[in-house]
Amino acid sequence: MLALTISQIRGLSGTLSDDVFFTTDDGQQGIWQYDAGSSSIVYPDNTGTVLNTVDGKVIKRIYSGPASVKWFGAKGDGVADDTTAIQNTINALAAKGGAAFMPAGTYRLTETIQLREAVSLLGEENRNHTVLYGTLLSYEGTGIAIQCYYPNGNPGEGNVNTISNIVIRGFYLDDKNNTGSIGLDLQGFRWCRLEDVSVSGFNKGLHTNNNYYSTYGHLQFIRFRTHAIHSENQDNNTHWEKIRVGKAKEGSIVTHATNFSYAYDISMADFCCETDTQHGLCFNYCRGVSVTGYYYESAGAAAKVSAILLTACQGVNISGGAFQGIGTTDRGVYSHGSDEVVISANWFNGFEYAIVNSSITAGDNKNFIQFNNQIDEIDGDYSRLFADGQGGGERIGFRHIEWCRYDAAPRAGSWNKGDIFWRKTAEAGQPMGFICVAAGTPGTWVEFGQMGARTITAAPNIVPNFIGEEVLDTANSKWYKSTGLTAGSWVAIN
């Protein structure tokens, strides 16, 4: 075996004294072998896995597993432009598939990296957490950093025109100059995985289009300018787990943190989202959506933003979430024209309405169920559990319904006209509850209804429970009604 540099191997000619070589170049070390049966026309020099001598001999790298981008000339020092070397690695693997591996370091990207069929892109994950990241991709362009696109450039029809069997894993992608349009653009993505990736900056952190049967997990998005995640035109049979969405870049206008349209069979678990002036999760015309363990926090006051916004969706389950609002017009879950929606076992705090069910047109009945959801009682300002918009819904029967219950009218917090508290303890002659007749802090409240009646055997000489209470003198079959709150304020009414 001869120890040579890549340049020295390329300079060989004539009869070789040995057909096995070891390259000594930094980052490009490895074992190579002369392949007498191959032609340089079929196997051109690509620096990383194939070398050609001056007289056309083909020398191939002997390896198994991923191919390092450093074999193809990437430096990972944060100074050199590594775009071409990384793209060449991917292109070299395209014929048979494989994985392009980026060892720990900082790789400068100035143009879009195009992924190819069955070629994965792997970074060196930071398992010991001694530094902020293992592999950092620093994008300095104005377009898309990493793209996986339809083979011929358009969606086509059916499943023929797709890219499949790709894993993207283990790196930090940063929009250095805050001028990039999209961090990861994945279109026609089938049977693939995106995991352990952090994206910082960009107009959109992740864009997906017409993707199927894929898994997205352990992702983080921060400093995005319009969407952390934007999925459109189907993102079917996909699973999302352990997603973290941080605040958008300060001063930017963000429409939605995450947006899904025309997709079905989406499952999201352990999803964390912090927003400033925009919605959290948005689903438009989706079918079969499951959201569990979703934590949402609003960091700024904005008009009518929602932790989850549903528009014309069907078959939605939202459970086990914690939702923290801040604006007095915030909504927890806002469902607009959606059907077969179940919302259960969630915690809401700081919203004007925790749950809103609104129909697109009056009389458009939808199946909508919410149960076992909790409003934090400490938050007295604009916290109501449920608001039913126009159209109503299907009738649903329960053996037991838990209401907002207290034995006195509220003395703090802001309330609207028509808000109701039901009495917690049931005693004959007591009011059924309290209703707000004038909005305010805490507003004006009056008793309503009466639970049965107290009975006496003579004219009443007892203190009324409330103005308007009625008691029955059973000895004389006479009813009395209180006009005040003293024992002498009873008047006969029959």
Backbone angles phi, psi at 90, to 5 degrees: -60, -45
Give the residues of the chain that fall short of pLDDT 50.
Answer: 127-132, 152-161, 249-254, 377-387, 389-401
Residue with tokens 């720990």: 104
- pLDDT for 224: 81
CB crowding 356-382: b at 16 or more within 10 Å, else e:
bbbbeeeeeebebebeebebeeeeeeb
d(CA 119, CA 352): 49
Structure-block tokens of residue 435: 């209703």
Residue 445's contacts (CB-CB under 8 Å, 6 or more residues apart) are 409, 410, 421, 434, 435, 436, 437
Domain range annotation of the chain: 2-62, 65-254, 277-402, 420-492
Helices (H) and strands (E) in the chain, counts: 2, 43
d(CA 294, CA 320): 7
Residue 351: closest CA among 305, 284, 400: 305
Neighbours of 153 (CB within 10 A): 9
- pLDDT for 141: 93
DSSP state letter for 72: G
Can you say whether the dihedral through the CA atoms of 38, 43, 48, 49 is positive or negative? negative
Predicted model pTM: 0.72
CATH code assigned to 65-254: 2.160.20.10
Backbone angles phi, psi at 143, to 5 degrees: -110, -130
Instruction: Write the single-letter amino acid at 73.
Output: G
d(CA 45, CA 405): 78
pLDDT digits over 351-382, tens only? Answer: 878 888 886 555 555 788 888 888 764 343 33
pLDDT digits over 392-445, tens only? Answer: 444 444 444 455 667 888 887 778 888 888 888 888 999 999 999 999 888 999
